[in-house]
Structure 1
Amino acid sequence: MTTARIDPSDPSAEPLGIWLSSLIADLLGLDGPFPADQPLGEMGIDSLTAAQLSVEVEEHTGAYVPLERFLGEDTVEGLVRALEHDATATPVPDAVAGASA
């Protein structure tokens, strides 16, 4: 399985925050981008939507983000910081990523 990963050196790549805000807005049926400073849990994200977000983020960035991050007080800004700095995003285990030994 090939995973699309963010390449910060690619000037044509869409900024992660814009991509994530747009993805959340699309999944929630919002007219505009999701506010970057709005706690995700306050916008009605349910467990199914959180699972969809987790999969999309993993496919886009290569980093696993637990469902709980999308259901609580985290914001888009906070998730972007974590993904960009690998501060709290958990690397995908090889078995989950489908890698073979």
Structure 2
Amino acid sequence: MKTLYINKKTVLKTCSLIIGLLLVFNTVYAAPGDPVGMDKLDALIQVIATWLGRIGLIVAFFGAVQLALGFKSDDADGKIRGMKTLAAGFLVWGITQSLSLFGL
């Protein structure tokens, strides 16, 4: 049977690391009220999200056109590219719509 020896330096380093991490991670509470400038940042995020959503819908429309042209010419590559573009456009639009779920 093998005997396990514990090195004092290793124990000291481990304890120091645990104590250091406990001191670093403290709970911080924000002051009540809206901080200065946050409403401007929220408005900027809303404008960017609105335009990204619109661009996502345009990309999805372009993907649908690619998909239709792929079916017209019976091109497997065109169908795949169209489906990928359609999905990417709807993903971008969906992400911008999900901002309201998080209160942004």
TM over 0.5: no
Taking structure 1 as the reference length, the TM-score comes to 0.26
Higher helix share: 2
Greater RCO, CA 8 A, separation 6+: 1
In the superposition, the TM-score normalised over structure 2's length comes to 0.25
